[in-house]
Amino acid sequence: MGLNHGYGDFPGEADASRLLNHALDAGVTMLDTAALYGDGENERLVARAVGHRRREYTLASKCVLGMFDGKRGLDGRPEAIARTLDEALARLRTDHIDLYYLHRLDRNVPIEESVGALARAVEAGKIGAIGLSEMSAATIRRAHAVHPIAAIQTEFSPCVRNAEVAVFDACAELGIGFVAFSPVCRGLLAGAIKAADYPAGDLRGNLPRFTEPNLSHNLKLVARFDAVAADAGITPGQLALGWVLARHPFVVALPGTRNPAHLDENVAAASLSLSVATLAAVDAIFVPGALAGRRYLPAMHAQVDTELLPEEVA
């Protein structure tokens, strides 16, 4: 996503292409894009940069959440999903997407109808498996009753633990993989944020926990987290990724980066084995309610179906 959506200050085409090829060379086996990212340009970038290496990675993309008449919105109607999928296949220059997600829940369309559209796409050979993003355990179960769901993608990190309310239980019960996006909390746990001085177009400038007065409070917690990483002899980003991967055997981390060195650092985290004491030290920092500020502003949060934490309900 970050190559041309969400965080501003995007790399040029040549640098983005080098990064994606370096990822494959380093052993990365899944690339995740979406119709929303750059209004389709991210999918085109993947095709241009690594389409010739298509057999080397699992390709994931998403539908429903996108840009409509220049505005971000949702359209989970079966006909809209079918159209978005065909457009994605064209942008990706392929006839098959391995894992295709409903990016968000369109509350105006029964989940059964949206999943039914993807089930027909599986039958047609256009996609290999169905995923859901930012959806609740109840929605997951309804969707799974229509067609087996392969993966749930939701924000998850030491800072963001909504999936622990009920989604992890649903994944364990139904045999569904969990893909943790923003596992380093949008850079907060990777040494990337010291002040609210984001480039133009960076979404963090509009997220409550990344702006003042909340950010100063949260950076104090991050300083404690950084100290735990230093004691363990690893980087903060690696500590965050190692913590995420240690939660459950069905959890996969999905870190994004625009920096080849950070990519190598992230890949190395996959082989870490953190001690019980280190994991407990992280948990002691990010106790319920420790982080100040909500994940999203109300308009964006309205598109998220994942359960709220007790402190968010309060």
Q: How many residues would you count in the chain?
A: 314
7 as an active site residue: the answer is no
Catalytic residue among 7, 37, 101, 198: 37
Active-site positions read 37
